[in-house]
Amino acid sequence: MTLRKLLLTGAAGNLGRVLATDLASLCDELVLSDLPASLDKHGIRGVGCDLADADAVEALMQGVETVVHLGGVSVEGPFEPILQANLRGVHNLYESARRQGTRRIVFASSNHVIGCARQGQKLKPDCEPQPDGNYGVSKLFGEGMARLYWDRYGIESVCLRIGTALPEPIDRRSLSTWLSPRDLFSLIRASLTAPQVGFTLAYGNSANPRAWWDSTEAWARLGFVPQDSAEPWAAQLESIHPPEDSRAAQMQGGGFLNMGPYDR
């Protein structure tokens, strides 16, 4: 299946730069977008767009059939920047998608939607949300927008609660949450090309024996089978973790539990 016009937001971010070349192989036209300064910094030829600017997003979405939405603030932090990029931005994206007739959006949600769940607790995508901060709340909002625009307007969405998406796992926590670059692309490709996804929630992790998340049904619906595992790094990483009595060691969100609050 070849897509006609695919938009990748957040193209200058770490994940966007990993995915761009492979995504180009799936479509006739790939449009890369990020903040203008970010594109310039990384020398990416794309369309500069502030997601909080509704008119700019409307122009960006002209003729777009499918979207991989990575754009926005990608870490925990003060609320105001997250409000603009992650809440206003995702609202502008879905509203423009409705007006433009966009068929499907793959939304990069986050494991931080359930970051206050206990480590070791096995969770399915339909579990009760337990966000661990402003960032996690913003991703929960994005999942809500995806649900709304499927139910009311028929725009399909796959919301991926992405884990630790790095070339290699880095600590004990990531032995459970790691998502390899190969599996990341495979998951996004499946999310773009699977038939009739409607509204689908899935976790993004590799085939880690210690995984805390069960996306069996969602992965089957998408046709995704992870190929990699964090377990080969277990011996060298098991001792790398926060103090055992800390929230960061006890809850699935890890180090995000050490950030904030962001009082004035």
Query: So which residues are the catalytic ones?
Result: 135
How far, CA to CA in Å, does 55 sit from each of 39, 46, 93, 158? 19, 17, 10, 25
Nearest by Cα to 145 from 51, 224, 225: 51
Phi, psi of 248, rounded to the nearest 5 degrees: -60, -30
Please, are residues 136 and 81 in contact by the beta-carbon 8 Å criterion? no
Query: Other CB atoms closer than 10 Å to residue 217's CB: what's the count?
Result: 13
How far, CA to CA in Å, does 101 sit from each of 67, 93, 116, 121, 154? 12, 12, 37, 40, 10
Sequence-ordered strand ranges (E) for 103-154: 104-110
CA distance 199 to 85: 22
Torsion angle (degrees, nearest 10) of CA 209, 69, 193, 175: -10
CA distance 118 to 62: 43
Half-sphere exposure of 69 (CA within 13 A, CB side): 38
CA distance 217 to 208: 17
Structure tokens at 132: 């661990």
